[in-house]
Amino acid sequence: MVRRALLFIIALLVGIVYMAELGAAEEKKGVVQEKKATVQGEKASAEETAGEMKIVNKVVTLHEYEGATPQTLSSAPGTTVIWVNQSRSPIELLFVDKKVVIACGSPVNFFVGKDGAYESAKIPFGGTASLCFLEKGHYEYMVKVSRTFYMPGDIARDNRGTIWIK
């Protein structure tokens, strides 16, 4: 008798838990559908306000001896360039002539320097840096290897990369 009562209580609890999960799933489904409708509405209005700007990501790999690959990159305003450090040493990016003074989104491993332009922090091995370009122009940058000590046989190289925003 006690055993049947315990089995009945366990079955009742399992049923309650199942019904609660089913209700939560239905509620979540309704919320997801509401969010989809909201996102679609926001997406349509964002497309209307964005005009002709198309968001694009381009990846550039950095090596201490070879520099940037690809060395030259062309794209449109709104492009985010993502640099990936594949060398053994930290690397910095230094814009040579035209400086980046306005960017979209949140730049990664970049900060605003004293002159109001974006400057790269040291990008560690395997680390990334990214910057979104809004202004059209020719951006030439130098890939500078940052070392805290001298390694015998090292040759200082002036590796450069170019970004064309058209």
**What CATH code is carried by the domain that includes residue 158?**
2.60.40.420
What is the residue range of 154's domain?
56-165
Residues 36 and 115 in one domain: no
pLDDT band at 44 (very low <50, low <70, confident <90, very high): very low
**Tens-place pLDDT, residues 69-111:** 999 999 999 999 999 999 888 999 999 989 999 998 889 999 9
Residues 68 and 150 in one domain: yes
The SS3 assignment for 157 reads coil
Residues 62 and 112 in one domain: yes
Residue 13 scores a pLDDT above 90:
no
Answer with the one of 9, 34, 51 that is the final residue of a domain. Answer: 51
The Cα 38–Cα 70 span in angstroms is 39
Tell me the whole-structure pTM to 2 decimals.
0.64
CA-to-CA separations, 152 to 11, 32, 90, 149, 155, in angstroms, rounded: 74, 59, 17, 10, 9
Residue 67 scores a pLDDT above 70:
yes
Residues 132 and 66 in one domain: yes
Residues 113 and 60 in one domain: yes
The Cα 2–Cα 60 span in angstroms is 71
Answer with the one of 51, 67, 93 that is the final residue of a domain. Answer: 51
Residues 97 and 16 in one domain: no
The Cα 46–Cα 13 span in angstroms is 48
Alpha-carbon dihedral angle through residues 93, 99, 103, 109, given to the nearest 10 degrees: 20
The Cα 154–Cα 70 span in angstroms is 23
- Kindly report the average pLDDT of the chain as a whole number: 77
Residue 122 scores a pLDDT above 80:
yes
Mean pLDDT of 41-65: 66
Mean pLDDT of 4-13: 56
Residues 67 and 104 in one domain: yes
Sign of CA dihedral 95, 102, 163, 112: positive
pLDDT band at 31 (very low <50, low <70, confident <90, very high): very low
Residue 45 scores a pLDDT above 70:
no
Residues 44 and 121 in one domain: no
**Helix %, strand %, coil % for the chain, to 5?**
30, 35, 35
**Tens-place pLDDT, residues 146-164:** 765 555 555 455 689 999 9
The Cα 71–Cα 128 span in angstroms is 17
Answer with the one of 36, 51, 66 that is the final residue of a domain. Answer: 51
The number of domains in the chain is: 2
pLDDT band at 43 (very low <50, low <70, confident <90, very high): very low
